[in-house]
Amino acid sequence: MPDAPQHRDTHDLNPVAFPPRATYRLQFHKGFPFSSGRDLAGYLAELGISHVYSSPILTARAGSIHGYDVVDYDAINPELGGEAGFTEMAAALRAQGIGIILDIVPNHMAVGGADNRLWLDLLKHGRGSAYANWFDVDFDSPDPQIAGKVHAPFLGEPYRDVLASGALSLVLHEGGYAVSYGEHLFPIRPEDQAEIAAVGVEGFRNADALDRLLSRQNFVLDWWRNAGDRINWRRFFDVTQLAAVRMDEPAAFAAQHAITLRLYRDGLIDGLRIDHIDGLADPAGYCLELRRHLDTLQRQRPEGLRDDRAWLIVEKILAAGELIEAGWDVDGSSGYDFMDQVSAVQHDPTAAAALSAHWAVLSGRSRDFHAEEEMARHEVLSHAFDGQRERLVDALEEAGGRDREAEGLTRSALRRAVTSLTAQLRAYRSYATGRDDGVGAGEAIQAALKAALATPLADAPALRFIVSVIAGEGGEAHRSARITAIRRFNQLAAPLAAKAVEDTAFYRYGRLLSRNDVGFDAALMGLETAAFHTMMGERADGLPVSMLTTATHDHKRGEDVRARLAVLSEMPEDWIEATQRWRGLADGIRPPGLDPADEYMFLQMLVGAWPLGLRVDDAAGLDHFAVRLGDWWRKALREAKLHSSWAEPDGSYEDQALQFAADVVNPARSGRLLHEVAAFVERLERPGVLNSLVQTALRCTVPGIPDTYQGTEFWDFSLVDPDNRRPVDFGARKIALAQHLSLDLLAESWRDGRIKQALLRKLLRFRLSQPALFAQGGYEPVEVVGPRADNLMAFLRRHDDAGMLVVVARCCSQGLSQTGGLVPEADWWGDTRVILPAGLQMSNAVIGPSLDATDGFALRDALPVVPVGVWAVEGV
């Protein structure tokens, strides 16, 4: 590794807010380099942002649009502007009082191709590579063909076919030789270099000679389809182009974090977001080690930046009721849990019965999400992770020793039990390590055991044995084997959850798509306000500076798509009736064999993502929308793996579906259908916008640090990636922010999105004026009484002598008038009132009218323009 540059003289760096006050996610790539981030410094400061939340910056695969496919730990990506560009951006941001939170990727690197020298060295030297322990390779695989070697499943066809075709060729590479195949290079081991040099590459044009040479290498070329069954190294999920890296290996940890820690030491970044923490062998151990390094470097930071610890958050999918362990010493998660919670409270939970029943009848599939999840877990385990399952069974056999044999547990029983236990697991993994750290199997594993034991054909002894291993039970003689088994279980369970739930079941279960997104509990239709209040109180008590987000680079549909679709939970019967009528109107354009479930999910996306202002006579706009919908639908069909897949794309089915989508949004083909859809969208627009403004307000006022994903200060009707990574028109956003128009005026032109930006700015500027209140303030539900009490949430945040009252509307579509406003009519609230705690007085109005209230106030007076009211309060 190259020597780190000398410590910069950064004594003149301006301090920034700690904890972060508000972050803004920027996705850097070749078309949006650091210079573009630099040029946003003034705009972001005016908006109220304290930190840019940067996508990964280490050198990634050429042309990467996200940065998670790192190929070189030793340099900041030159496509983004390199270290000089990053330093220049950091300085421009710091001059505006803005710091940087950096997203890092410790779990994996991009492999294959010819651009990762660490990977190429591993292929060349095998066990003898300096990096052999960095990659999670099982050189002791029981498969005799790959034992002692690296499985390389990068071929597009079976090995013998590729060999016979002449697609493999011996070429010169960095003073030696390598086998070339398309974009891939496979370096020849040192022992064979002299022989090749003696006869030249021409001596290996013959397939038999090349085959003999390849048989001696430290890698085994194979067809990509065999990866799930045979691969002997851990991948990121089931992506063969991304190889896992062991952060428990000190040299790998040091190399991965060298630039990151130097940037922190030099004051150029202020915190980190850890990508896919659950992929690591020991997330807690990793976080503690990283925190130790950060705390040590904190004392070496520039003057004025040494007082506060680094802000450290982890990307973590939390199961229902699951919390990040305090022992990890992190500040929280990257916000998927809040995204789920705020979405759920904007859904009417009473719609579950009607929408579930309709989905079951229409689709012929389960009305229950957990049944869909269990089925997907079984399928994905068998097709994508069978090899990992077998290696886990190997480890379990060794961990049990004579105890397993005494209990009569066969390998087949262990395999069935692993399958059943992972199918019933409703969390990503356990955090057991097998060491004396007091971490047992955990509640999620015990719940999975209980569910697995309840199945009619349960292998009870094998199930109990596996859980005993995870719990660390057994003699000292088998501790090492138990640790290996636990690690393999956890590193199978996590990718299985990701691929089976979010990348399969979420695309199969179409009850209401606004409840299917990254980190969501799709089985839950909605939350009552009391449950939401409880969750926010737990945030204030446990993780008060965790990230809060409602849009990410990974979301499956934009925050305002979800907000609009949530309105359907307020009118399930009307929605069901409308879609049944639309299906009849589509009879003339529907291709034979189109699955009704696929059509129903398409209709949800059609109404959910319909752009504001799109008219049925706008041919160009409709064509553009049709292309975006088609791209979403093709990906959705492949992720669902029912009628098509990434492994076996059914082009015929996909093309018919996409043609149907194009015909639906073509008025010449769909006629009355398109007009009815447009009319229904118009009915959803304003209550959807109401939800959008409320979720923006809650993100900025409940305990935590609000993040704004790039561009979403205007309306966000994006679809799944890459649609959610389209270029952002920052010019329009800068102009809008500079206008400083009132919410009253912006409400008259709400479709242009400026009202959302203005609301966000007001709230972020209020956070700027009250940092301690937002960082340390508690959370107290406020009583609401009257006929519309269920359509309102109110809460207090208080700290020392500062306080604020927040009031937001929910599930109010029936109260909106036909006059175009974004709030319910005053009379609709009736006698609904907010009851203030004794001694509390309203002070300055941040959002909403000034109210002279001591004991409470009527809702009819409180929300005249936007469905949000925020007031400073006194007497705290």
> Nearest Cα to 43, choosing from 103, 92, 84?
92
Q: 221-237: string of b/e by CB count within 10 Å (b at 16+)?
A: bbbbeebbbbbbbbbbb
For the stretch 290-338, pLDDT in tens is 999 999 999 999 999 999 999 999 999 999 999 998 899 999 999 999 9
User: What is the average per-residue pLDDT within 640-658?
Assistant: 97
Q: Say what the pLDDT of residue 403 is.
A: 67
Which of 791, 799, 809, 796 minimizes the C-alpha distance to 773? Answer: 799
pLDDT at 437: 81
Q: Mean of the pLDDT values across residues 470-495?
A: 93
pLDDT of residue 325: 86
pLDDT value for 400: 83
Predicted pLDDT of residue 18: 86
Q: Tens of pLDDT along 656-702?
A: 999 999 999 999 999 899 999 999 999 999 999 999 999 999 999 99
Q: Residues 247-256: pLDDT tens digits? A: 999 999 999 9
Positive or negative: CA dihedral 385, 387, 390, 394: negative
- The pLDDT, as a whole number, for residue 859 is 95
Q: What pairs with residue 805 in β-bridges?
A: 796, 871
Alpha carbon distance 238, 235 (integer Å):
6
* Rounded Cα distance, 479 and 668, in Å: 70
Mean pLDDT of all residues belonging to the chain: 95
Is residue 396 scored above 50 in pLDDT? yes
pLDDT value of residue 876 = 67
The CA-CA-CA angle for residues 209, 210, 211, to 5°, reads: 90
Can you tell me the mean pLDDT for 264-278? 98
User: Quick check: 13 pLDDT over 60?
Assistant: no
User: Which of 624, 743, 725 lies closest to 689, judged by CA?
Assistant: 743
On whether the CB atoms of residues 553 and 721 are closer than 8 A, the answer is yes
Residue-wise pLDDT tens digits, 708-763:
999 999 999 999 999 999 999 999 999 999 999 999 999 999 999 999 999 999 99
Task: Identify whether the C-beta of residue 244 lies closer than 8 Å to the C-beta of residue 277.
Answer: no
Which residue, among 756, 742, 606, has the nearest Cα to 689 in the 3D structure? 756
Give the tokens for residue 534. Answer: 């409880």
Find the mean pLDDT for residues 807-829.
Answer: 93
Percentage of the chain lying above the pLDDT 90 cut: 93
Which residues, 6 or more positions from 503, have their beta carbon under 8 angstroms from its beta carbon? 237, 639
Q: Read off the pLDDT of residues 207-231 as tens digits, 9 standing for 90 and up.
A: 999 999 999 999 999 999 999 999 9
Query: Could you tell me the two tokens for 51?
Result: 């930190």
**What average pLDDT does this structure show over 634-648?**
97
Rounded to whole angstroms, the maximal C-alpha distance in the chain is 95
Share of the chain above pLDDT 70, in %: 97
Strand partners, 235: 243
Q: What is the pLDDT of residue 4?
A: 42
The pLDDT value given to residue 11: 39
pLDDT in the model for residue 3:
42
Q: Answer whether 582's CB lies under 8 Å from 603's CB.
A: yes
Residues in Cβ contact with 201 at an 8 Å cutoff, skipping those fewer than 6 apart: 169, 170, 171, 172, 177
Quote the CA–CA distance of 150 and 148 in Å, as a whole number. 7
CA 847, chain centre distance (Å): 31
Does position 819 have pLDDT exceeding 80, yes or no?
Answer: no
Query: In b/e form, how buried is each residue of 746-773, taking b as 16+ CB within 10 angstroms?
Result: bbeebeebbbbbbbbbbbbebbbebbeb
